[in-house]
Amino acid sequence: MLSEQFKKDRPYLERKFKTQICNPATGLDNETLKSNLIRLTEELNGEPHELIKAKAFRYVCENLVIDVNPQDFFVCFGCWNRYDRPLSFLMSKWEDEVNKNCLKELKTLEEQNASGSSKMWKDFDHSVPDWEAVLSLGFPGLLERVKTYRRKCEADGKMGLDEKAYYEGLEITYAAILKMLDRFHLYALEHSDGNQRVKAVAACLDSLRKGAPSNIFEALQLIYLFFIFGEHIDRFQVRSLGNLDRMLYPYFQHDIAEGRYTEKEIRDFFAYFMMQWASIDNYWGHPFYFGGSKANGETEINDLSYLILDVYDQLDIPTPKLQIKIAANTPVKFIDKALDMIRRGHSSIVFLSENAIRRALLGQGCTEEEARTCVISGCYEFIPQGRGNGTCAGHINMLKPIELLFHNGRDPKTGISCGIKTGELSEFKTFDEFYKAYIQQLEHIIESVLKCANDFEKYLHRINPAQVYSGTIENSLKTAKDAFHNGSVYNISGILNAGFANAVDALMVIKDFVFEKHEVNLAEFRDILQANWQGHEKLRLKILNSKNKFGNGIESVDSFAEGLALFLANKINMRPNSRNGFFAASMHSARQFIELGEKTGASPDGRLAGEEISKNASPVMGMDKNGVTALIKSVTKIDSALFPGDFPLDVMMHPATVQGNEGLNAMRSLLKTYMDKHGIAIHFNIFDANVLLDAQKHPEKYEGLQVRVCGWNVRFNDIAKREQDEYIKRALSIKE
Amino acid sequence: MSTEGIVFEIKRFAVHDGPGIRTTLFLKGCPLRCLWCHNPESISPHPQLAYYAHKCINCGECVSVCPEHAHAISLEKLHYFERRKCRSCGKCETACLGNALQLYGMRMTVQETLNAALEDRDFFGDDGGVTLSGGEPLLQADFCFEILTALKRQAIHTALDTCGQVKWKTMSMILNCTDIFLFDFKAANPQKHHKLTGSDNRQILENLQKLSDAGAEIEIRMPLIPALNDSDEDIHEAGKILSNLHIKSIKILPYHNMARSKYDALGMANKIPASSSQDNVNSLHAVEILRNYGLEIN
């Protein structure tokens, strides 16, 4: 149970990151801080970006307003608003400079993005520090390690200007962090007013400014501090709070054995800890993860896993979000607890298969050990701990090539010629010829995306040097290269896609209706799509009712889909990127299933212009008419190892299906079968159309109602009506 | 394998029809006429066309394909369906753009049925398998026998969902190839049983006793229908009979009346009772009574 004190403090915690609540006497107001930062960085113009950013970072640490509040266990930073972070201006400025002065492919990039063929941006949202290093060294230890590597570089005679800027930037940054801990410590001492909790926070800060954490409270405070320094000040999303149950278990055991904290107190720490992210309320959610296997083959699930899961259950919050690495050794009891939470609507949980991840990572040249201990980051991405960094460099619209093909390489809505000329429609005499042209258009998009990504990813470290993050990555320190740019062992650029299932369905429709049944010819089809099906509703319904759709376990369709997936993966995986690494194909769509959908006209599969396109490895909404088993069969026909970026599946079921013990057992069996068939990630939406419809009418009755989007949860009330309608449409097609 | 049966639904990922993840085959035809029947499409042994008026978009496709001219659309865009003309050929179902027409009952060979039933074999795991349900599946006894035998030869777990109203010889024939019987129990009292289902329960109780004596695994399924079979007396009588048998467990099926639209679609009159929020409370009370007889309730 959550403590009474926590319940009293919860309103404060919910407000903490939604409004400025720090003591104004402790520093500058945000507007002054920002204008001073602009002046400071202008004065430094001409210095390496690493130094300018580090000095700006230091200025923030010295001048930001702060608080240590008796209603919280965690300190409060003045930069509470993640949309308005103090160093954002610097990143925007340097991005503009790079766009203007350095990029050779900017026009292609802008055209691709405008036409919706793909979506690319410079991704600074997927960094995971080496949490082992953070916890074992603490901030002082991390700084010492930077200095050691700097001396080594000097001794080896390798210290050039770039190296010097790199190390100096890190030293300034970490020294500033320590200085800010001093500020927090002093403030807590001076303002405790006899309050036991503030005193405890002061003691915790005192310990952290001197070294590594020695108990679970200090470890949690350190994770939180690192997160704010990294994400809110240094402006890199920290896309995983780490393998919390495994990392923190030794502290937990020690604290309980020593009698330092009771289990009840530790539950409280976790409740306050998780509320920090609930309050930040990042739309995409902030992940932490559980599970996996030890080197000896035993499960990593321990008493602390159950404790944290239970606290998380009781908080009923969509973020932080939880990823669970499942292996054959994962206890059934633990899986059942998580599945039960999901069917009760506490569903911000995704399951990942340790074995399927292993296959994918070994295929990228990782070792067994790197695969076993990999970090789960972002929504479901996985990367070797402390040795890998993966960006999301671009998203490919799998449906766009069809639109381009109908208009000989030109996007009809924007008029942009972003495709290639594949010929007039009358020239396609067979489906194979049509498909060949689709592949040519697709390949053109893939090549454009890789070319653009290689162009702009060369400058990631110029736009936003990753100093807080690099300080934790040993390979970066060894090589004096930015860990987010090219200083990791695995510098991977993910290429995601959306609309895969739409593309399969649309191509099947062309095959059946144009080339086999001759119900409509290509020129007519082009005009029908241009008219957004107006006047052709019968044909549209016939197409929507036709059987050959991905996700129904139909052998011919699934084999076709597999072929398309093979091509996509083969054109992306292991191709060199511009960061001393390589590209990795991903079946993840993030939010692009909505955004690229908006930029895509009506499609042959019966979809209307602007509607959502399919996400992840999942079928087109409502087109999987043979149920969840057929769906899993279709999806796992594709070898997930071909998508080392990640391979997630969305499953939607009616609450009646999963009720009772039988329902829980069925969910578990489904999970197991998906993973036996090498599916990587799977998550569930359990909902009833009637509930969603009622929630749309009476939002006040459903304040806690969550739906899973695509690797993150949102409150149903918080999404646009159009998005709500898509969920309702989908829910209506689920059979009990 | 060429024996044919009439199947009206193949439900994959069935999780409430026996242990584990199952595929349930629903066979047409039933000897009982339960007042509350929620599968009215299962009663007749013949294929039947259902017309869901609320889904009709008046596209007229059915009119053009029906060889019997059973469908018509008026100038006012109203759909008329003359059921007596319908030969249940299913052509209009395929053509219908609004999914308003549905043919319940397809003729399938044993081999075709097995192929469909085993699509999800990978999901059955250790405890799941195939369930035959209905209607009363044993009205198509040879068809059931061949399917169940073929499944057992492939070591697939089999379940039979039965109302019990068949000759004992019919049931004994499939005893060896059925792993679990999901046996309906609607009323203990013969007169009451007759009133509720159109038949007394003499044969049913005899079959149940014999299955129990033979050591078959039996799960009893008790639909609780408000005011019809859910009085304390009803439950006590059931408890007395069941506690003298070897029953693995009992499953109480709370009542719902969501089948009304199906009756309309099939052109059948329905006498199904209304449900109330009290039903769930009544189920819990029944569970309590049965537990006192030492029975295991799911």
pLDDT in tens, A435-478: 999 999 999 999 999 999 999 999 999 999 999 999 999 999 99
Give residues with Cβ within 8 angstroms of B191, minimum separation 6: B200
* Mean pLDDT, range A260-272, rounded to an integer: 98
Query: What pLDDT is stored for residue A410 in this prediction?
Result: 98
Among candidates A569, A568, A509, which has minimal Cα distance to A540? A509
Pairwise CA distance, residues B53 & B265, whole Å: 7
Pairwise CA distance, residues A712 & A702, whole Å: 19
Is it the case that residue B275 has pLDDT exceeding 80?
Answer: no
Whole-number percent of chain A with pLDDT over 70: 100
Which residues of chain A lie closer than 8 angstroms to B59, CB-CB? Answer: 538, 541
Is it the case that residue B281 has pLDDT exceeding 80?
Answer: no
Residue A66 and residue A76 in contact, taking contact as beta carbons nearer than 8 Å: yes
End-to-end alpha carbon distance in chain B: 36
Mean pLDDT of chain A: 96
Q: What region does B185 belong to: left with phi over 0, alpha with psi -120 to 50, or beta?
A: beta
Determine the distance in angstroms separating the CA of B15 from the nearest CA of chain A, rounded to an integer. Answer: 6
Strand partners, A64: A28
Residue A75 and residue A20 in contact, taking contact as beta carbons nearer than 8 Å: no
User: Between A545, A661, A673, which is nearest B123 by CB?
Assistant: A673
B248's tokens = 């693995």
**Interchain CB contact of A633 with B (< 8 Å):** yes
Among candidates A350, A342, A352, A351, which has minimal Cα distance to A659? A342
* Mean pLDDT, range A218-246, rounded to an integer: 96
Among candidates B141, B123, B140, B131, which has minimal Cα distance to B221? B131
Query: What pLDDT is stored for residue B226 in this prediction?
Result: 87
Pairwise CA distance, residues A134 & A220, whole Å: 11
Residue A464 and residue A235 in contact, taking contact as beta carbons nearer than 8 Å: yes
Determine the distance in angstroms separating the CA of B254 from the nearest CA of chain A, rounded to an integer. Answer: 13
Determine the distance in angstroms separating the CA of A336 from the nearest CA of chain B, rounded to an integer. Answer: 15
Is it the case that residue A513 has pLDDT exceeding 60?
Answer: yes
* Mean pLDDT, range B264-275, rounded to an integer: 84
B81's tokens = 């369906």
Q: Give the best residue of A662, A684, A733 to mutate against chain B (max B CB count within 10 A).
A: A662
User: Hunting for tokens 């920002």 — which residue is that?
Assistant: A34
Residue A636 and residue A307 in contact, taking contact as beta carbons nearer than 8 Å: no
Q: Residue B276 — pLDDT band, cuts 50, 70, 90?
A: low
A245's tokens = 């149950």
Cα–Cα distances (Å) from A291 to A315, A369, A453, A712, B265, in that order, read 21, 15, 34, 19, 51
Among candidates A478, A395, A629, which has minimal Cα distance to A133? A478
Mean pLDDT of chain B: 94
Question: What is the complex's ipTM, to 2 decimals?
Answer: 0.90
Pairwise CA distance, residues A77 & A65, whole Å: 7
* Mean pLDDT, range A644-651, rounded to an integer: 96
Is it the case that residue B278 has pLDDT exceeding 70?
Answer: no
User: Hunting for tokens 């999914």 — which residue is that?
Assistant: B99
Q: What region does A408 belong to: left with phi over 0, alpha with psi -120 to 50, or beta?
A: left
Q: How many CB pairs under 8 A join A and B?
A: 60
B173's tokens = 């024939």
- Alpha-carbon A683 to chain mean position: 14
Residue A397 and residue A498 in contact, taking contact as beta carbons nearer than 8 Å: yes
A56 exposure class (CB count in 10 Å sphere: 0-12, 13-18, 19+): buried
* Mean pLDDT, range A325-343, rounded to an integer: 97
Closest chain A residue to B120, measured at CA: A629
> A205: helix, coil or strand?
helix
Kind and range of the H or E element at B222? strand B218-224
The length of chain B, given as a count of residues? 298
pLDDT in tens, A386-426: 999 999 999 999 999 999 999 999 999 999 999 999 999 99
Strand partners, B184: B221
The length of chain A, given as a count of residues? 736
* Mean pLDDT, range B57-71, rounded to an integer: 95
User: Hunting for tokens 């939406």 — which residue is that?
Assistant: A685
Whole-number percent of chain A with pLDDT over 90: 93
Among candidates A173, A280, A269, which has minimal Cα distance to A229? A173
Cα–Cα distances (Å) from A236 to A10, A120, B131, in that order, read 28, 18, 54
Query: B12 and A630 in contact by Cβ < 8 A?
Result: yes
How many CB atoms neighbour CB B12 within 10 A?
Answer: 20
Query: What pLDDT is stored for residue B280 in this prediction?
Result: 67
Q: Which long-range contacts (CB under 8 A, 24 or more apart) does B276-283 make?
A: B276/B226, B278/B226, B279/B224, B279/B226, B279/B254, B279/B255, B280/B254, B282/B224, B282/B226, B282/B230, B283/B224, B283/B252, B283/B254
Which residues of chain B lie closer than 8 angstroms to A690, CB-CB? Answer: none
Which residues of chain A lie closer than 8 angstroms to B97, CB-CB? Answer: 538, 541-542, 545
* Mean pLDDT, range A498-518, rounded to an integer: 98
Is it the case that residue B282 has pLDDT exceeding 70?
Answer: yes
Query: What pLDDT is stored for residue B279 in this prediction?
Result: 62
In A280-368, DSSP assigns E strands to: 287-291, 321-326, 349-353
Query: What pLDDT is stored for residue A730 in this prediction?
Result: 84
Query: What pLDDT is stored for residue B247 in this prediction?
Result: 94
Query: What pLDDT is stored for residue A47 in this prediction?
Result: 97
**Interchain CB contact of A662 with B (< 8 Å):** yes
**Interchain CB contact of A652 with B (< 8 Å):** no
Query: A669 and B21 in contact by Cβ < 8 A?
Result: yes
* Cis amide linkage into residue A11, ω under 30° from 0: no
pLDDT in tens, A148-200: 999 999 999 999 999 999 999 999 999 999 999 999 999 999 999 999 999 99
pLDDT in tens, A654-683: 998 999 999 999 999 999 999 999 999 999
Residue A636 and residue A674 in contact, taking contact as beta carbons nearer than 8 Å: yes
Farthest CA pair distance, chain B: 65
